[in-house]
């Protein structure tokens, strides 16, 4: 399926040269790379000179060949290194941090050129990575499952998965081939859950790994879970305080909480000291899933109505402008039709005058033909002048009529176009109103279904005859009199699977063929159907690559080399799975048609790296995060920028649309997690966080927010910004 793991790099020549014979990749390239090639490469080709290979240096740039084999003294690269002939390499105060070559390096460069400037092919060599220091433990990436149940984060070269229902660490995802439970040898740069939540993809240095969710352990119930009996006296006090009929009861292992099964079908958790209710537990995993689907439908239909209402508003504004133009066109028609008869009336007299003048000229010309006469010649000159004047008068009269008629026609054509535009707008408005009606009906149906489902949970269909806490008190389990069992997360009250232990994640496969990934894999993303995995990376300052894989086989299905001119940092599929959006260090976002690989949209506007990218759930809006501290939203129908959103003081490091809404959760280097909508309105601002935030995600319903950054803590908040949990990496 997928090839064995290998971390490889360019290092030296394929044949070891004698000690006195220098070779480019081994002896010269290392000091040219940082001090010369940083400005003279494929991407940044200053002075039209690329110094990445001897052949390219021989080809040269604006000043001719950079090196001449066997003649170091005549080679410009040496002269520039010596700052000779008004040349200086590298220039002072350069932005690349390049420094002057040392005398030893210049001597090596000259000797290599004098020996013929030899170069052999690069050799593949395994990179030996040292163990990370304990302090190197940042969270660079986060992922959240579509159902909002699990969040995964990468810390250093390890991956941790948390259950947001129980608010517990449930797995450290590790590769047996790595040391100390690590997932990769290098830093984890990117993570993504598959749509069904059964796979997790992770990207690192020159490799991608796929992890598979294993089945949960055997089901348990109240009878199988060790229970601490609640005393009859405590049960009696709880029943009195809570005004409930208690059928069964148990205590947590630490004695701080009690759980009761009540006659109304509910399972309730109580504070054992105060007898105050902590949480009421109802429903099942299936019911919770159905409720989440209905919540999504309601949000999606609200979004649809908002879009269609904006379309109606747009059509209304257009119609107002068209009405103004229509009024002007009709006014022009009326005005021109009013003056047209007068202008037409002026034509016959002008024509008659021209005809008479022509006749006079003809008669005098005939007279002169018979005999020369000075008086007749003078008379002819006067007649010709009158003819010219008469012709001009006729032409002016005809032109006035033609202009009036043309103005009428143009205005009538304008009326037709405006009327057609208004008719087209009316169709758009009619369709929008129909879409609003349909969306409202779908929303109402989903809302009614949700209300009915919630109401059904309050009606007792079975009674909890036995209840218990799990050993760690993270779950409450109940057995009902109809033989069924259910479990809930004690912290949140959410129904959870009844497995005695959380399911495990195992390595399914890895993709690391030599040459496939040039450097770090900065982005991984599953297609909406989960069948395709897209990866983004490339080589810094040289090119940004996007590669698509078939998830089942691990085989490459498409390779888009140099999709960007710098490394790709973020990816997202459109909701229909037909398009892929990419953002890169070249400050550009692109949308590509997946089937053909053809570009569809190019979004320019950021002045620094594009660090995050996301489609809205309806695919009509794309959001991009810029390292200059802004978020841009783009209208995917027109291809134009919708809004430039400001308010950050440092890099916006990630973004994600929240569920089927127009709200966007962002993380940033200014120690904030901020939620805005795609129009730029701020919804929430969680400020004064302790360190640079690298990534933030939200559950689809927006009820739980998760973020991580440089201090290695994964923080969890509710929708209002209240801290629910904070998980360290130790």
Q: Is 598 helix (H, G, I), strand (E, B) or coil?
A: coil
Of 76, 72, 34, 64, nearest to 52 by C-alpha is 34
pLDDT for position 412:
95
CB atoms within 10 A of CB 247: 18
What is the C-alpha to C-alpha distance for residues 286 and 689, in angstroms, rounded to an integer?
Answer: 37
Phi, psi (deg, nearest 5) at residue 418: -65, -40
* Two structure tokens written together for 558: 């498409």
CB atoms within 10 A of CB 190: 27
Contact assessment for residue 184 and residue 202, using Cβ atoms and an 8 Å cutoff: yes
Architecture of the domain whose range is 287-456: Orthogonal Bundle (1.10)
Which residue is it, tokens 């909480």? 257
Of 86, 83, 99, 28, nearest to 57 by C-alpha is 28
Helix-then-strand count for the chain, H and E: 8, 39
pLDDT for position 95:
67
Q: Is 424 helix (H, G, I), strand (E, B) or coil?
A: helix
pLDDT for position 1:
36
For domain 228-282+458-496, give the CATH number.
Answer: 2.40.10
* Two structure tokens written together for 56: 């390219």
What is the C-alpha to C-alpha distance for residues 230 and 255, in angstroms, rounded to an integer?
Answer: 9
Which residue is it, tokens 């280097």? 669
Q: Where are the domains of the chain?
A: 18-119, 228-282+458-496, 287-456, 618-730
pLDDT in tens, 180-229: 889 999 999 999 999 999 999 999 999 999 999 987 655 444 434 556 88
- Listed as own residue / partner, the contacts of 266-270 with beta carbons closer than 8 Å and 24 or more positions apart are 266/460, 266/464, 267/464, 267/467, 267/476, 267/478, 267/486, 267/488, 268/242, 268/244, 269/476, 269/490, 270/238, 270/242
pLDDT for position 60:
85
b/e 637-668 (16+ beta carbons within 10 angstroms → b)? eeeeebbebebbeebbbbbbbbbbbbbbbbbb
* Two structure tokens written together for 455: 């109401």
CATH among 2.130.10.10, 3.20.20.140, 2.40.30.260, 2.60.40.10 for 618-730 = 2.130.10.10
Same fold, 287-456 and 618-730: no
pLDDT in tens, 132-147: 555 668 999 999 999 9
DSSP run (H or E) holding 686:
strand 682-686
pLDDT for position 727:
95
Q: Is 50 helix (H, G, I), strand (E, B) or coil?
A: coil
pLDDT for position 623:
98
b/e 503-521 (16+ beta carbons within 10 angstroms → b)? bbbebbebbbbeebbbbbb
What is the C-alpha to C-alpha distance for residues 58 and 54, in angstroms, rounded to an integer?
Answer: 6
What is the C-alpha to C-alpha distance for residues 204 and 520, in angstroms, rounded to an integer?
Answer: 6
Counting as low any pLDDT under 50, the low residues of the chain are 1-19, 219-224
Which residues, 6+ apart, have CB-to-CB distance to 347 below 8 Å? 394, 397, 398, 401
Phi, psi (deg, nearest 5) at residue 341: -60, -40
């Amino acid at each position: 399926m997928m090839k064995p793991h290998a971390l490889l790099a360019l290092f030296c020549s394929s044949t070891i040269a004698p000690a006195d014979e220098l070779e480019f990749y081994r002896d010269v390239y290392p000091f040219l790379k940082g001090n010369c090639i940083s400005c003279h490469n494929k991407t940044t080709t200053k002075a039209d000179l690329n110094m990445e290979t001897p052949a390219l240096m021989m080809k040269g740039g604006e000043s001719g060949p950079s090196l001449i084999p066997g003649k170091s003294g005549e080679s410009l690269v040496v002269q520039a290194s010596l700052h000779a002939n008004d040349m200086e390499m590298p220039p002072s105060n350069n932005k690349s941090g390049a420094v002057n070559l040392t005398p030893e390096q210049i001597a090596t460069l000259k000797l290599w050129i004098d020996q013929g400037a030899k170069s052999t092919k690069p050799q593949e060599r395994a990179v030996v990575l040292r163990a990370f220091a304990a302090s190197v433990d940042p969270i660079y990436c986060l992922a959240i499952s579509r159902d909002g149940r699990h969040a995964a984060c990468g810390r250093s070269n390890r991956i941790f998965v948390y259950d947001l229902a129980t608010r517990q660490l449930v797995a450290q995802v590790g590769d047996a081939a790595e040391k100390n439970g690590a997932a990769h040898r290098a830093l984890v740069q990117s993570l993504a859950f598959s749509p069904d939540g059964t796979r997790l993809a992770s990207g690192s240095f020159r490799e991608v790994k796929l992890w598979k969710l294993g089945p949960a352990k055997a089901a348990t119930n109240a009878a199988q879970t060790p229970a601490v009996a609640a005393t009859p006296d405590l049960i009696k006090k709880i029943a009195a305080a809570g005004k409930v009929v208690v059928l069964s009861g148990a205590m947590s292992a630490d004695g701080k909480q009690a759980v009761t099964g009540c006659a109304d079908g509910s399972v309730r958790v109580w504070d054992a000291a105060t007898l105050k209710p902590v949480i009421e537990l109802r429903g099942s995993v299936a019911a919770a899933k159905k409720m989440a689907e209905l919540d999504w439908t309601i949000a999606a239909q609200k979004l649809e109505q908002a879009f269609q209402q904006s379309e109606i508003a747009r059509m209304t504004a257009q119609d107002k402008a068209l009405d103004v133009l229509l009024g002007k066109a009709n006014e022009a028609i009326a005005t021109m039709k009013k003056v047209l008869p007068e202008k037409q009336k002026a034509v016959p007299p002008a024509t008659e005058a021209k005809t008479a003048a022509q006749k006079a000229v003809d008669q005098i010309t005939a007279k002169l033909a018979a005999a020369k006469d000075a008086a007749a010649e003078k008379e002819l000159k006067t007649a010709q002048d009158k003819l010219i004047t008469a012709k001009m008068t006729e032409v002016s009269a005809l032109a006035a009529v033609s202009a009036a008629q043309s103005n009428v026609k143009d205005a009538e054509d304008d009326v037709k176009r405006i009327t057609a535009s208004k008719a087209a707008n009316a169709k758009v408005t009619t369709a929008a109103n129909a879409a609003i009606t349909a969306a409202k009906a779908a929303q109402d149906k989903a809302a009614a279904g949700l209300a009915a489902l919630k109401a059904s949970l309050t009606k007792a269909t079975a009674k909890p005859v036995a209840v218990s806490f799990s050993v760690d008190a993270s779950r409450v389990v109940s057995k009902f009199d109809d033989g069924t069992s259910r479990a809930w997360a004690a912290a949140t009250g959410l129904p959870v699977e009844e497995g005695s232990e959380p399911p495990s994640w195992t390595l399914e496969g890895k993709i690391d063929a030599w040459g496939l990934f040039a450097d770090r894999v900065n982005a991984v993303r599953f297609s909406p159907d989960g069948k395709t995995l897209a990866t983004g990376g490339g080589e810094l300052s040289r090119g940004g690559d996007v590669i698509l894989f078939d998830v089942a086989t691990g085989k490459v299905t498409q390779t888009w080399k140099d999709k960007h001119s710098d490394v790709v940092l973020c990816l997202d599929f459109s909701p229909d799975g037909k398009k892929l959006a990419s953002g890169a260090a070249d400050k550009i976002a692109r949308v590509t048609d997946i089937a053909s690989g053809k570009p569809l949209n190019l979004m320019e506007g950021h002045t620094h790296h594009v660090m995050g990218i996301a489609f809205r759930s309806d695919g009509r809006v794309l959001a991009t995060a810029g390292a200059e501290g802004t978020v841009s939203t783009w209208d995917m129908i027109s291809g134009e920028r919708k809004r430039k959103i400001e308010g950050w003081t440092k890099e916006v490091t990630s973004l994600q649309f929240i569920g089927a809404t127009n709200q966007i959760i962002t993380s940033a280097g200014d120690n904030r997690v901020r939620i805005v909508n795609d129009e730029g309105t701020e919804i929430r601002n969680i400020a004064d966080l302790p360190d640079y935030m690298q990534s933030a995600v939200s559950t689809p319903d927006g009820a739980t927010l998760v973020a991580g950054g440089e201090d290695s803590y994964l923080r969890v908040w509710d929708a209002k910004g209240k801290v629910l949990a904070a998980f360290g990496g130790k």
